Structures are given as C-alpha cells and as structure tokens.
Structure 1
Amino acid sequence: MISIVSIFALGACGGSDGSGGSSADSGSVESLADSSAGKAAAPEMAAEDADAAAPKQAVTKASIISTGSVALSAKDVGKTRTQVQSISDRYAGQVTEQETSDSDDDGPGYARMVLRIPSKSFDDAMADLEDTATLVDSSTTTTDVTTEVVDTEVRVKNARTSIERIRTLLSRAEAIGDVIAIESELARREADLNSLLAQQAALENQTSLSTITVNIDRSGPGGSSDDDPGFLAGLSAGWDALGDSARVLAVALGAIIPWTPVILLLLAPLWLLSRRRRQTAGPMAGPMTGPVPATGPAEE
C-alpha cells in the first residue's frame, strides 16, 4: 500500500512547467507506482529526456507572426471598401472588424477594416491591397516565435505524461489520505495543462492567420491633382467653385422670394405719396417759372 509519506514526496518534486522538472517528476511517479523499479527509473528518465528533445529536432518550419497596415485614399470609399472585401474573400480570409464614417456628401467618407488572412497568402494580399486605390502608407511587422512554439509543445507533452502517471498512481492508492493528496496534485497539474493548451492555441491562431488593418480616406479637393494634368485639375476646381457659388445664390434667392410681396406692400404707399407730391408741386411752380413781361417807358 502506498504511504502518505510517498504522497508528500510526490508533492515535493512537483513542477511540470519545464521539461527537465517534468522528467524528474515522471521518475518520482514511476517509483511510487512500482517500488521494484527503483534502479530502472534512471534509464527510463533518460528515454523521456530523449523523447522531450525529439520535437525540437523535428520542428524545422519557422513560426512567424505577421501583421500589416495599409492606408489608402480614394474618391469612392464605398467602392474601395467592396474591393477590399473581395480581396479578403479571394484569399479565404475574413473581416473581423469594420468601421465606417458617413459624410454629408455622397457615400461614406472614411472606412476601417481589420482582415485575417492565411499567413501563406500574407505577401500577396498586401500587394493587392496596395493596388486597390491611391497608396498613402504601408507597413509590415514580423515576429519569429518558433522557440516559443516548440517550448510550449514540449511542456504540453510532458504535462500530459505526468498527468497519466498520477492517474495510474491514484488508481493504486488505498488509504483515504493518499487519495486526497493525489487528487489535489492531479487537479493542480490539469490546471497547468489547460493553461499551456490555451497558450498553444493562441500561438497557433497568430501564426496561421495574419492581421492586416486597412484605412480608407476620401480624397480631398486636391487629392487627385497628382493623377490629373494641371489644366484638367484647374478646370475641375473652377467648376466646383462655380457650382458652390450657384448654390449660394440659389439659397439667397430662396430666402428673399417669400419676402417680396411684403416688401412691395410696404413700398407701394411710399411710391404713391411721392408721386402725388410731384403732381401737386408741378402747377404751383408753373407761374413762377414763366417769362417776365417787358415794360416800356411811362407816358407823360
């Protein structure tokens, strides 16, 4: 029967986070499970160390996390946004975030999209996105996490091996104290394994799918001057100014026309009074303005 002292010895040599600690712990579990294998534990530990080192030698493909950012300028933001969606679909990607800002004019004035593209198509997708509209800025970042991926794989493997041996030990325990102590140790190591599995899943997601952020702004009044000749750009600006002036004049006329009848009603009495005064002043001024008759010499 397994003694409680052996269980405490098992807890003292716990630590399945590292590959070396896990090998020592595996040897302790093996010695508790089978007391006749004391001298045979050393060769078995050496074999476990060789197995733990095997994944490091087998992994030859680099694990890279790639991220990119593309800033575009376009006259039609909505059309460019649709083209970006088409590029994402072409490479079996997905749009995880999307933000659109509407303007007072026709269509949206700004759009932001976050794409998740398979890492093998990262470079091709970046090139296609840069050609979608006028390129303002583009940047990429790569991070090599090969060592972290390999280390996590080894720790997961050793943690699973350790848990299986503790379960074997639990099946052989008879004293209630031994069962409680082994179950507590088993729960702790299962929690450590779940944490390692979460880290492994996060790394797998980051290395298998690349993140590309696309920002699309509407071109300003002079945004297309680099593409158009100088005469056409000036002509376009002149037409825009004429259109703006016409709109301002139309607004002014629209505001004045409703007041026209009121203004006429107010001015009509003044006009009639002024005309009557001119007609009255005309006859009175006639004798005074006529020629003065000549007078001859007085008769004696």
Structure 2
Amino acid sequence: MNRKKVILIFGLFLFLGACSSNDKEESLPKSQEEKAESKMDSSLSGEQASDKKAEKEAATNDRMVIHQAQLQLKVKNLEKTQMKIERKANEYGGYIVESNVYREDEERVEGTITVRIPEARFQDFLVVTEGQASEVVGRNVTGQDVTEQYVDLKARLKSKRAVEERLLAFMQDAKKTEDLLKISSDLAAVQEEIEQLTGQMKYLENQTSYSTVTITLSQERTVVPGIDNAKLDTWERTKKQLATSANLLLKAGSGIIVFIIGNLPILIVLGGAGAVVHWAMKRRGKR
C-alpha cells in the first residue's frame, strides 16, 4: 500500500514537472518576442534621433546669416557714381529698393541708395562701391545668425504637418457631427499655425538670400573766389560808362521835353503875360 502511494506521488511530481516545462516553453517565445519588439522600437527611436541630429548638424553647418551694410562715401560726381552703383547692382542680380538725391545748398549735394544684393555677391559689391568713392567716410557691416531660429521653425512646421495629417485621418473616420465640428476647429487652428510658420521661414530665407546695403553719397563743391573780368577790361568799362552817360543825357533831354510839352499851356500864358509886361515897360521907358 505504501509503495502504491509512493509511486502515485512520484508520478504526480513527474506530471507537474512536465506541465511546468511546457508552460516555460510556451512563455519563452513570448518574452523573446517582446524583447525583439523592444529592441526594434529602441533601434527605430535611435534612428529617428540620429536623423534629427544629422538634420540639425547639416542645417547648422550651412549657416543662415542676415547681412546688412551702411556706407558713407564722398564722391566727385554724385550723378555718375549713382548711375554706376545702380548699374552694378543690376549686373550682380540685385535690385534698387530706394534712391534719393537732394541738394542742401549750392556747395553740397547728397544722395541715398538702398540696394538688395545676392548674398554670394555681397562682398564684391562692397568692394566695387567703395572703389567709386574719393573718400570712404564710414563703413559698418553687421551679420545676424538666424540658423537656430530657422531650424526650430522647420521642426515646428514638420510637427504641425504631422498633426494636420492625423486630424484629416480622424475627420474621415468621424461619424458624429459633434466630432466633425471639433476636428474641423482643431484643423483650422493647426493650418493657421502652419501658414504663420511658413511665412516666417520664407521671410528668413529672403533676408538671408539677399543682403541690404545702404549707401550715403555726398558731393562737395569747393568754391574759389574768381576774378571779375568786367572790372579789369578797360574797353568794356569805357563802353559801359559811355552808355551810362548817354542814358543820363537822354534821360535829361527826355525830362526837359516832357516838362515843356506837359506844361505848354502854362508856359504860353506866362510867356504872353511876360511879353505884355515887357512891352509896357519898354513904352514907359520911351516916355
């Protein structure tokens, strides 16, 4: 009897051991699969991180800088220099933003030209422009690095586009009107942000593609007191004096004639009265 119990217990242990081994064999593939999936997820996340890092490094290496320059130049001929600068800007693929010329007085003429030049020809344009001056009074060149700002905008734009795609997918699967309205509202807000980000990126691209150069030109005339030839030419002075004397005589004669003709009635009366008085005095003298 005891042997039967021992054999029964031993058989029960064997059965339990076999069942536990089967459970372990069945659970083992699942744990390995989970480990493989976790490794795959980690590798994918690592690849994504490395891609983002590589993209950031590539964008950082290709720096985006907004260049601006202010030049103050003295020139001999402002009009000619201005035409040369404008012609050179067109030759380099740039364009004129503003051009003004104004005269302060007879001795000073000034002008201002604002030019947008492709970034690749920025330094060449500065050298050529300064070569047109008789004197470079001032030169100021600044650069603003917007690389990180541009990369940040690009990453935000990519994220917003991904959200836009998900919202569009949700909209296709939505059945209720309430859900459609909510998704449409969120989609409109995301699309507005996308437009803002796109506009900011385009602005930075334009500012970094073209540099702004403001040129102030000044032309000064040196006034040298000249010699008055009229004061040294005797013949001219003689003719001038003769003409002056003739004018005086003509003016005096004209005045006399005007006086006589204008006062002729009075002169006739006075002459007649004088003649009568003279005749009377002469007659009395004879007596």
Mapping of 1:1-300 within 5 angstroms?
52-59=52-59, 60-101=61-102, 109-134=109-134, 135-221=136-222, 237-239=224-226, 242=228, 261=247, 263-267=248-252
Q: Tell me the TM-score normalised to structure 1 length.
A: 0.59
The Cα of 1:48 is off from its aligned counterpart by 6.3
CA distance in 1: counterparts of 2:121 and 2:213, whole angstroms:
12
Gaps of 5+ in 2: 1-37, 257-287
Task: Specify the code of the residue in structure 2 equivalent to 1:143.
Answer: Q
The Cα of 1:57 is off from its aligned counterpart by 2.8
Contact 1:71 1:137 in 2 (8 A): yes
C-alpha spacing 1:192/1:267, structure 2 compared with 1 (3 Å): same
Contact 1:55 1:154 in 2 (8 A): no
C-alpha spacing 1:269/1:238, structure 2 compared with 1 (3 Å): closer
CA distance in 1: counterparts of 2:139 and 2:231, whole angstroms:
39
CA distance in 1: counterparts of 2:82 and 2:49, whole angstroms:
53
Task: Specify the code of the residue in structure 1 equivalent to 2:210.
Answer: L
Higher helix share: 2
Task: Specify the code of the residue in structure 1 equivalent to 2:157.
Answer: V
Gaps of 5+ in 1: 1-38, 223-236, 272-300
CA distance in 2: counterparts of 1:180 and 1:91, whole angstroms:
53
Q: Tell me the TM-score normalised to structure 2 length.
A: 0.62
C-alpha spacing 1:161/1:265, structure 2 compared with 1 (3 Å): same
Q: CA RMSD in A?
A: 3.7
CA distance in 1: counterparts of 2:180 and 2:83, whole angstroms:
62
Kindly, what percent of the aligned residue pairs are identical?
Answer: 25
The Cα of 1:208 is off from its aligned counterpart by 0.7
Q: 2:62 is paired with a residue of what secondary structure?
A: coil
Q: 1:174 is paired with a residue of what secondary structure?
A: coil
Task: Specify the code of the residue in structure 1 equivalent to 2:127.
Answer: A
CA distance in 2: counterparts of 1:104 and 1:258, whole angstroms:
36
Q: 1:65 is paired with a residue of what secondary structure?
A: strand
Q: Equivalent residue for 1:279?
A: none
The Cα of 1:117 is off from its aligned counterpart by 0.6
Structure number with greater Rg is 2
Q: 1:68 is paired with a residue of what secondary structure?
A: strand
The Cα of 1:218 is off from its aligned counterpart by 1.3
CA displacement, residues 7-53 of structure 1 (integer Å, 9 cap, x when unaligned): xxxxxxxxxxxxxxxxxxxxxxxxxxxxxxxx9xx878887666555
Contact 1:130 1:138 in 2 (8 A): no
